């Protein structure tokens, strides 16, 4: 009973604070204007068809080890969870190992609550560079899910919040991506690409729920991983030419349906 009361109190506190502060999601200085590839840390990733320099790339925690293997030296955006900076668990240690000596253009560190200088020092400790650094607090993250997904969430536990990968998808959509292609983000998988510990992945239920919701809301979210496409129903990315054909076919269907509606109801014309 005491635990339930504590959770309820936390929920109301966060919702009231969210309502009063009206936080805005993180915004890029230069918004996206084309397709965005979001690369997560699941063991299997697939470089999307017709990937070229017009794509912007977002990496999550240690997934930069994947994009580097594809010849992408510096991602456009990287999201890193606060615990990866100083944490001593296996995942944090492995993330720092694979990011040692690397860099990114825009670095967002999620939920860092200590001094900014300590964050800068922590990044220097494993030689991770960036052009710009920003902290994303809980309420900015809640705003992403609210503004893009239409879901108000208090983030009370692992099952009540999205993974960093899904937050990156929301971020890309909010910042103007014409299409978002995900890879290495699989709610059904375990483990991480940068270690062999097969650590459990959190946020499985919420990730699936949000991806399905984005689909229903008509967002242009795709996957380049066939298994994820089959499991969740996300459309498999087959290149921009194919996307264009599908969108044109959908537009023709909509126009035809509109003509039929007007023909049946002349007063609507």
- Helix/strand/coil for 239: coil
**10: buried, middle or exposed (CB in 10 Å: 19+, 13-18, 0-12)?**
middle
- Cβ atoms of 61 and 80 within 8 Å: the answer is yes
Find the helix packing angle between 204-216 and 164-174, rounded to 10°.
20
pLDDT tens-digit profile, the chain (269 residues): 666 767 787 777 788 888 888 899 999 999 999 999 999 988 899 999 999 999 999 999 999 999 999 999 999 999 999 999 999 999 999 999 999 999 999 999 999 999 999 999 999 999 999 999 999 999 999 999 999 999 888 766 666 678 999 999 999 999 999 999 999 998 775 544 544 554 554 557 889 899 999 999 999 999 999 999 998 899 999 998 766 655 554 445 444 544 554 455 555 45
Helix H or strand E segment including 9? helix 2-21
CATH homologous superfamily for the domain 25-238: Alpha-2,3-sialyltransferase (3.90.1480.10)
* Cα gap 72→110, rounded to integer Å: 23
Map out the domains of the chain as residue ranges.
Answer: 25-238, 240-269
Among 121, 78, 113, 76, CA closest to 99: 78
Among 191, 173, 211, CA closest to 63: 191
* Cα gap 206→211, rounded to integer Å: 9
Backbone angles phi, psi at 219, to 5 degrees: -75, 145
């Amino acid at each position: 009973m005491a635990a339930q009361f504590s959770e309820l109190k936390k929920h109301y506190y966060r919702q009231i604070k969210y309502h009063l502060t009206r936080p805005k999601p993180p915004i890029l200085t230069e918004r996206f204007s084309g397709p965005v590839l979001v690369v997560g840390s699941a063991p299997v990733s697939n470089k999307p068809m017709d990937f070229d320099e017009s794509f912007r790339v977002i990496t999550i925690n240690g997934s930069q080890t994947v994009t580097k293997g594809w010849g992408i030296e510096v991602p456009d955006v990287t999201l890193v969870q606060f615990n990866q900076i100083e944490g001593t668990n296996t995942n944090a240690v492995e993330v720092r190992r694979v990011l040692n000596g690397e860099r990114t253009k825009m670095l967002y560190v999620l939920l860092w609550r200590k001094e900014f200088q300590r964050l800068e020092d922590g990044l220097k400790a494993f030689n991770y560079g960036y052009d710009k650094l920003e902290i994303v607090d809980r309420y900015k993250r809640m705003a992403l899910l609210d503004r893009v997904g239409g879901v108000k969430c208090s983030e009370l536990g692992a099952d009540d919040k999205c993974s960093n990968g899904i937050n990156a998808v929301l971020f890309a959509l909010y910042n103007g991506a014409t299409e978002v292609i995900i890879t290495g983000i699989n709610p059904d998988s375990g483990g991480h690409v940068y270690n062999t510990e097969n650590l459990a992945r959190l946020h499985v239920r919420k990730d699936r729920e949000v991806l399905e919701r984005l689909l229903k809301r008509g967002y242009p979210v795709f996957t380049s991983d066939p298994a994820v496409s089959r499991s969740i129903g996300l459309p498999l990315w087959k290149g921009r030419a194919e996307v264009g054909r599908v969108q044109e076919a959908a537009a023709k269907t909509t126009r035809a349906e509109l003509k039929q509606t007007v023909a049946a109801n002349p007063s609507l014309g």
